[in-house]
Amino acid sequence: MTPPHQPIDLSGRAKFRLSGPDAERYLNGQVSNRVGLATAENAITACVCNVKGKLEGVVFVSRPADREDAFLVDAPAELRESLLMRLDRYLIADDCAWEDVTDDFALVHAIGEAAPSIDLPGATWKQANRFGAPGHDLWLTRDSLSQVSEAGGGLLEETAPEVEAFRILRAVPRWDAELTPDTLPAEAGLDKTAIDFHKGCYLGQEVISRIESVGRVNRSLVPLAILEGNVSAGDDLFPAETDEDAKPAGRITSLTNDQRLALGYVKRDWTAPQTKLVTRDAEGKVTVGNLEVRKIE
């Protein structure tokens, strides 16, 4: 599947700015990735966790071009209040401060190596991998959004079918679908993209490092091909070759509009590509849908 050609409008995401002399040191103690890797030209992914190593948010971090002592952070829209409170909670004697800039900026993402050419003062594309493929982010004032739309041939909504299909194919988790406060980062594959296991301490590091040393989690997020039948997000998944008394092996979390692809959490014994799974009726006896685990592309 080829990625969407038009840029994606992510302006609805929550956006924060952290600035001050202690900004880098403080943020490094709050997120799972090394924030020194975030620059004006490159955005990184990071997890915000609680002391049990479970997610309180997944963010993208970069720097503004005009300030060396500041960071730009964006997160799912539904976390605007709770995540800002969480990030601000441990600011005590640190010489830095958070500011909610959600309403001040628009945010656009273009999937691919090249980004549309624009001529906006102070607006530059920065590398960012948001959909399991190389791409570029652009922070800009909201009144400049129309110019980016014209340069890119229009903008897609984050929930557009082609965007959602590409996300599911690449097994990129979304908050309130694959990601919740009960999720461990490694279950969603975030240990491969959003965690630096060699950086200094941060909240939840002890649990996350322990999981890394064990080398496995009890369940993993996998893409699923829907071979036949109608399935829905929330349906339990069962091994195809088991009796009616078998316990669920996983659950569907997202699926494409055309009912061809899905995402789901599957227990580790059933995550190998080409593993056959089924969904069942309310009584758990009749097979409703047939699915197959696919390799992440």
Residue 208: CB atoms within 10 A of its CB come to: 23
Classify residue 144 by its DSSP letter.
G
pLDDT tens digits in sequence order for the chain, 297 residues long: 788 889 999 999 999 999 999 999 999 999 999 999 999 999 999 999 999 999 999 999 999 988 889 999 999 999 999 999 999 999 999 999 999 999 999 999 999 987 778 778 777 799 999 999 999 999 999 888 888 888 878 999 999 999 999 999 999 999 999 999 999 999 999 999 999 999 889 999 999 999 988 878 999 999 999 999 999 999 999 999 877 778 999 999 999 999 999 999 999 999 999 999 999 998 877 889 999 999 987
Asked if residues 58 and 75 have their Cβ atoms less than 8 Å apart, the reply is yes
Q: From residue 107, how far is each of 13, 19, 161, 292 by CA, in Å? A: 8, 19, 19, 36
The predicted model scores a pTM of 0.94
Where does residue 112 fall: left (phi above 0), alpha (psi -120 to 50 degrees), or beta otherwise?
left
In angstroms, how far apart are the furthest CA atoms of the chain?
64
| Per-residue confidence (pLDDT) for residue 66, from 0 to 100 | 87
How far, in whole angstroms, is CA 109 from its chain's centroid?
A: 14
Distance CA(49)–CA(30), nearest Å, equals 8
| Per-residue confidence (pLDDT) for residue 177, from 0 to 100 | 97
Tokens of 161: 């079918």
Distance CA(240)–CA(243), nearest Å, equals 9
Please name every residue paired with 289 in a beta bridge, in sequence order, or none if there are none: 279
| Per-residue confidence (pLDDT) for residue 146, from 0 to 100 | 87
Residue 269: CB atoms within 10 A of its CB come to: 10
Q: What DSSP string runs through 102-119?
A: TTTEEEEEEESS------
| Per-residue confidence (pLDDT) for residue 9, from 0 to 100 | 97
Tokens of 246: 């078998």
Distance CA(96)–CA(52), nearest Å, equals 26
Percentages helix, strand, coil for the chain (3-state, rounded to 5) are: 20, 30, 50
Tokens of 120: 């906006």
| Per-residue confidence (pLDDT) for residue 277, from 0 to 100 | 97
Residue 124: CB atoms within 10 A of its CB come to: 15
Distance CA(202)–CA(49), nearest Å, equals 9
Tokens of 63: 């720097």
